[in-house]
Amino acid sequence: MLEIKCPYCGKRSQNEFSYGGDATIKRPQLGEEISTEDWDNFVYYRDNPRGKHSELWHHVSGCRQWFKVSRDTATHEIFDTCKMNEDFNV
């Protein structure tokens, strides 16, 4: 069982959350010329590291906020969590 610290509510069990995937992918800027390659990279390509991974989680059975988690994909250790507009401390 993962224990995830929601930046709004504090530590809660994994059962309260749902996952939103890689937090580093950025949608190409609206209103600007987007190359096919940028678009394909955004939709389909991921870094998929073994180790530290920035990812989105949703406190769906709680405050319903989205936030960021820095987690190790091999050990599941959670290094830090923060709000969407913040950066990790570690």
Residues forming the site for Zn ion (CB under 5 A)? 6, 8-9, 59, 62-63
Task: Select from 4, 10, 19 the least CA-distant residue to 55.
Answer: 19
Place of tokens 């939103």: 20
DSSP state of 70: E
Task: Compute φ and ψ for 43, nearest 5 degrees.
Answer: -80, -40
Binds other proteins (CB under 8 A): choice among 8, 24, 28, 45: 45
Site string for other proteins, 52-71 (x = CB under 8 A): -x-x---------------x
Please choose, out of 27-35, 46-54, 60-68, 81-89, the segment that lies near other proteins by the rule CB under 8 A.
Answer: 46-54
Site for other proteins contains 35 (CB under 8 A): no
What is the DSSP pairing of strand 10-13 with strand 66-72? unpaired
